[in-house]
Amino acid sequence: MNIENVAAMSERYLMNTYKRLPVSFTGGSGYELAGSDGKTYIDFLAGIAVNNLGYSNKKIVEAIKAASEKPIHVSNLYLIKPQAELAKRYIEHSCLDKAFFGNSGAEANEAAIKLARKYSADNYQYNRYRIITLEGSFHGRTMATITATGQKRFHNYFNPFLDGFIYAQPNDFEKTVESIDKSVAAVMVELVQGEGGIRVLSKDYIKRLYQYCNENDIIFAVDEIQTGMGRTGKLFSYQHYDIEPDIITVAKAAGGGLPIGVMLAKSKYAESFTPGTHASTFGGSPFVCSVASAFFDELISGGYIENAKIMGDYIIDRLNNLKGRFPGKVLDVRGLGLLIGIELSGDLALQFYRFAFENGLLVGVAGNNVVRFEPPLMIDRKAADFAIMLFERFLSGKD
Ligand SMILES: Cc1ncc(COP(=O)(O)O)c(C=O)c1O
């Protein structure tokens, strides 16, 4: 079937929730994707920070094959060995004590919000349920998580929104603390705001806010859905900040391409979940957990996280050079590891998105004016130089 037919069928049968580029992918290896148009694409989006090990990773393919020959799903009413084994990996590599598994990032954040409220209900005899999130944040698309998202553009159409979220200004400790009163149960932050334009929060701000929360028994939760699993050059982004959060949420890359959501908490808080207080039919299935463990082991032992730091520094350095040469067009370059944003003037980001695609490079856009580079973590100099070369060509052509 040719691509025009796929486009026509998609338009006829699918809800119009995505603006899709006219290509489908028929194969992939490492950071390359084979397009239905016969072209090879260098992937600097990785399925939006999902394919951290790229495509056709041998360990993932083997794990999928092996897990498919055992029960794919069993209920959480029974013991699930691969689930406990995956939880053990997370606990041994983080400051958290207990895991809950769901199927997506939004679900992981829903679980975090519910746990924070349950802990507060268990321990305080008055209404203490509010969650502080930050302006510019993104936490998901369910009713609770779009409400948690601190961007006005997401707060349309779906009234009434959930009660109990307060939006504070990032990187301003005094202002953030001003919005915290006795009704606040938790603070939830992304340490690098992804959808908000790849904004790296200041270390000083986060450390002070974390300490304030600790002193006041306010849960400090970090949304690691995009920043986790090596993306920023550490396994979790909180490890850049000298803090030990009470809760973290992970998703996207964590399943090696399969859907998963993970909510990790310290014991003190995790104890508030008891049978019947939270659940998920598919969460923690043997199939997904087996593959997620294979992904975890390969990520930790394969040099990917170290490479994310080295290549991230290299790309940011080269982009800063272009910023110096094209100051009217490149307004800012920011990021951590391989989570990189380039703020461009006018509609140049959207123009580059299209230009890159037409020249065999897949990138993303955050907001309307920030180009997003989030490649698989094993990219090399050759791939990075190709992306930079195209970007330079684009900027030069705009003189
Ligand atoms: C920081 C962050 N939190 C939550 C989510 C929601 O994850 P999901 O789309 O898996 O529900 C996303 C997705 O982009 C995200 O980037």
Sign of dihedral through CA atoms 82, 85, 89, 94? positive
Ligand 1 touching residue 138 (CB < 6 A): yes
d(CA 139, CA 197): 14
d(CA 275, CA 316): 47
Q: What whole-number percentage of the chain has pLDDT above 90?
A: 98
Ligand 1 touching residue 196 (CB < 6 A): no
Ligand 1 touching residue 251 (CB < 6 A): yes
Order of strands across the sheet that contains 130-134: 98-102, 261-265, 247-250, 219-223, 184-189, 130-134, 165-168
Ligand 1 touching residue 227 (CB < 6 A): no
Ligand 1 atom nearest residue 104's Cα: 10
Q: Write down how long the chain is.
A: 399
d(CA 152, CA 243): 29
Instruction: Report residue 128 as tokens.
Output: 């203490």
Nearest Cα residue to atom 3 of ligand 1: 139
Residue 199 pLDDT exceeds 80: yes
Residue 268 pLDDT exceeds 90: yes
d(CA 393, CA 355): 10
The CATH code of domain 3-56+303-397 reads 3.90.1150.10
**Architecture of the CATH domain 70-301:** 3-Layer(aba) Sandwich (3.40)
Sort 382 into a burial class: Cβ within 10 Å, 0-12 / 13-18 / 19+. Answer: exposed
pLDDT of residue 126: 86
Q: How far is the CA of 106 from the centre of ligand 1 (A)?
A: 6
Q: How far is the CA of 368 from the centre of ligand 1 (A)?
A: 18
pLDDT digits (tens, 9 = 90+) for 315-356: 999 999 999 999 999 999 999 999 999 999 999 999 999 999
Q: What is the DSSP string of 124-135?
A: -SS---EEEEEB
Contact 54, 41 (CB under 8 A): no
pLDDT of residue 334: 98
pLDDT of residue 398: 58
Q: Which of 45, 48, 103, 138 to mutate to test the pocket of ligand 1 (most atoms within 8 A of CB)?
A: 138
CA distances from 277 to 84, 186, 280, 333 (A): 20, 19, 11, 44
Q: What whole-number percentage of the chain has pLDDT above 70?
A: 99
Q: How far is the CA of 56 from the centre of ligand 1 (A)?
A: 24
Ligand 1 touching residue 194 (CB < 6 A): yes
Nearest Cα residue to atom 10 of ligand 1: 105
Q: Give the residue extent of every domain in the chain.
A: 3-56+303-397, 70-301
Instruction: Report residue 16 as tokens.
Output: 């119009």
Strand, helix or coil for residue 268: helix
pLDDT of residue 79: 98
Angle CA 367–371–374, to nearest 5: 105
Ligand 1 touching residue 190 (CB < 6 A): yes
pLDDT digits (tens, 9 = 90+) for 17-48: 999 999 999 999 999 999 999 999 999 999 99
Residue 381 pLDDT exceeds 70: yes
Instruction: Report residue 35 as tokens.
Output: 């397009």
CA distances from 374 to 56, 179, 317, 387 (A): 18, 33, 16, 12
Q: How far is the CA of 124 from the centre of ligand 1 (A)?
A: 30
- Beta strands 364-366 and 247-250: pairing type? unpaired
